[in-house]
Amino acid sequence: MGRPGPRTLELADGERIDPARLRDLVSGEPSAALLLWAGPEVLEALAPGLVPAADNLPLLVSGGAWKERLYGLPEALRDRTYITFPYRHPDDEARILRNTVPSLALEAGRRDSPRIASRMYTLVQILSKAFLAMEGAYYRDNLFDRIGLLPDQTRPDFERLSFGPGQRHASRGCYVMQLSAGPEPQLLKRSDWVIH
């Protein structure tokens, strides 16, 4: 497409990015975005004014890596930060879980991690379908093959689970979201379910 390839800064275990290294990364060629595939510890290097070239760049972060910590994203960064979110929107997930298995929704509300109940429900549903299809030939490769032959699944926590031969992950998509303003931010969808 005539654009230069991404410039990559890989951090060693325990290494933190500092404003000087970030400044070096984004200086020179004009950048379209800053993709942070790290946890929120990188935020201290992104304080406004520390890296002027990065102050107006869109930021992309991993909702899967940040988990609940993404709600701590400083308000000054929220309008330009986009979050890849590999699950259903939390409001949709709670509604679907309530409608699918009300007792699980109640259990999810009592636990420290509400995803435990919905993930266990998803796991049991998929495994039960696969075990029925195995017809007594219980060995690992057959289990993976049977799971791979399942049609796309719609489950409370994932928008779409797609299995396939040689594919050892189930959810290939995500939403792109942002956080709302205010002291108790909410996730706002900025895209449909993206798989490319």
Residue 63 belongs to a domain = yes
Q: Which residue has the higher pLDDT, 49 or 145?
A: 145
Residue 81 sits in the same domain as residue 95: no
pTM of the model: 0.76
Q: What is the mean pLDDT of residues 149-168?
A: 75
Range of the domain at 184: 19-86+173-189
Our count of domains for the chain comes to 2
In a shared domain, residues 34 and 80: yes
Q: Are residues 56 and 104 in the same domain?
A: no
SS3 45: helix
8-state DSSP, 20: H
Position 58 in a domain: yes
Residues 67 and 121 in one domain: no
Q: Please tell me the predicted confidence (pLDDT) of residue 182.
A: 92
Write down the mean pLDDT value for the chain. Answer: 81
Beta strand pairing status for 59-62 and 34-36?
Answer: parallel
Does 51 map to a domain?
A: yes
Average pLDDT over residues 9-34: 79
Q: Is residue 156 part of a domain?
A: no
Q: Are residues 126 and 78 in the same domain?
A: no
Q: What is the pLDDT of residue 39?
A: 80
Kindly report the number of other CB atoms within 10 A of residue 43's CB atom. Answer: 19
Which residues, 6+ apart, have CB-to-CB distance to 22 below 8 Å? Answer: 9, 45, 46, 50, 51, 54
Report if residue 195 sits inside a domain. Answer: no
pLDDT of res. 113:
61
Q: Which residue has the higher pLDDT, 120 or 137?
A: 137
- Mark whether 81 and 128 lie in a shared domain: no
